[in-house]
Amino acid sequence: MILIADSGSTKTDWRIIDHENNVQQAKTIGLNPYFQDSDSIANELRQNLLPSIVGEVTEIYFYGTGCAGEEPCAIVRRGLQAVFPTAHLVEVDSDMLGAARGLCGHQAGIACILGTGSNNCLYDGKNIADKIPSFGFWLGDEGSGGHLGKKAVLAFLHKEMPTDLAEKFAKRYGLTREIVLENAYKKPFPNRYFASFSKFLFDNRNHPFAYQLVYDAFGEFLDKYVAKLPNYNQHKIHFVGSVAFYYNDILRRAAADKGMTIGHIMETPIAGLTLYHKEKG
């Protein structure tokens, strides 16, 4: 039996493949080694994943946020091994590699994440061959939900948003400078706070100002990251994440205007990851 996991900050999507290639689904909370130790990961798995599994687990492929570097990966690996001691293979890798395998399968291509944050890589059909580093919410994440929301909030506070749109924004959120500063600098997860405002842009994406703001943000991501990858114009560019998925029409337009070819756009990579590992097996 094979377990496959795609873990974000808030939830983990699991697929369970039995010896007859039947696939079951399960969900747990997000498992991030920066916020949870091996014991707490194991406890979550025992309570909310183990009851869904009938049979002996032999292989585990876990892709998650925060799983970059040996020590964070080891934390997750120990938690998995404590619950599934019969697994002879336990691979823990980054969410970026999971996105690439889920989007591209066994073919080379460029894989990008546009969700709360953003990321990118050139993928060789098995592993990440190259990437342009992003430096998180405050120093990067261009094109992400956090970036879109931050641009919308600043446009409102700087009185750059057209009056009709600004009135809608003010009525919906009642924002003040003090509220924004507290959430930006004093409360945890400012990226999630600002990402929540991207929903306003989506709801008003037919307004020229909102459309242009999103279009420019995607253009910034494509220029700063994708266009710097080797031979980027020889590959299809695939995307995963809620922002890419829900704004796919604007994303495709921004890429086409730069002569880039978009391939798949998925909300999550788990279906593609399941296919990747079934074919691999």
In the listed set 87, 119, 152, which residue is the last one of a domain according to the structure? 87
> In which band, very low, low, confident or very high, does the pLDDT at 173 lie, cut at 50, 70 and 90?
very high
Residue 276, in any domain of the structure: no
Q: Is the Cβ–Cβ distance between 230 and 110 less than 8 Å? A: no
Euclidean distance between CA atoms 143 and 236, whole angstroms: 18
Within this chain, do residues 124 and 248 fall inside the same structural domain, yes or no?
Answer: yes
In the listed set 26, 58, 87, which residue is the last one of a domain according to the structure? 87
Residue 31, in any domain of the structure: yes
Within this chain, do residues 136 and 219 fall inside the same structural domain, yes or no?
Answer: yes
Within this chain, do residues 69 and 195 fall inside the same structural domain, yes or no?
Answer: no
Q: What is the rounded average pLDDT for all residues in the chain?
A: 92
Within this chain, do residues 114 and 235 fall inside the same structural domain, yes or no?
Answer: yes
Average pLDDT over residues 125-134: 92
Within this chain, do residues 117 and 166 fall inside the same structural domain, yes or no?
Answer: yes
Within this chain, do residues 30 and 116 fall inside the same structural domain, yes or no?
Answer: no
Residue 195, in any domain of the structure: yes
Residue 67, in any domain of the structure: yes
pLDDT greater than 80 at residue 163: yes
For 29, phi and psi rounded to 5 degrees? Answer: -70, 165
| Sequence-separated (6 or more) residues with CB below 8 Å from residue 116 | 9, 144, 145, 146, 191, 192, 195, 242
**Each residue's pLDDT tens digit, 221-239:** 999 999 999 999 999 999 9
Domain that includes residue 246, residue range: 107-267
Within this chain, do residues 170 and 202 fall inside the same structural domain, yes or no?
Answer: yes
Within this chain, do residues 75 and 208 fall inside the same structural domain, yes or no?
Answer: no
Which residue carries 């999630």 as its tokens? 192
Within this chain, do residues 46 and 176 fall inside the same structural domain, yes or no?
Answer: no
State whether residue 85 is helix, strand or coil: coil
Q: Is the Cβ–Cβ distance between 242 and 145 less than 8 Å? A: yes
**Count of domains forming the chain:** 2
* CATH code (residue 180): 3.30.420.40
Angstrom distances, CA of residue 258 to CA of 122, 183, 193, 227, 251: 18, 35, 31, 9, 11
> In which band, very low, low, confident or very high, does the pLDDT at 213 lie, cut at 50, 70 and 90?
very high
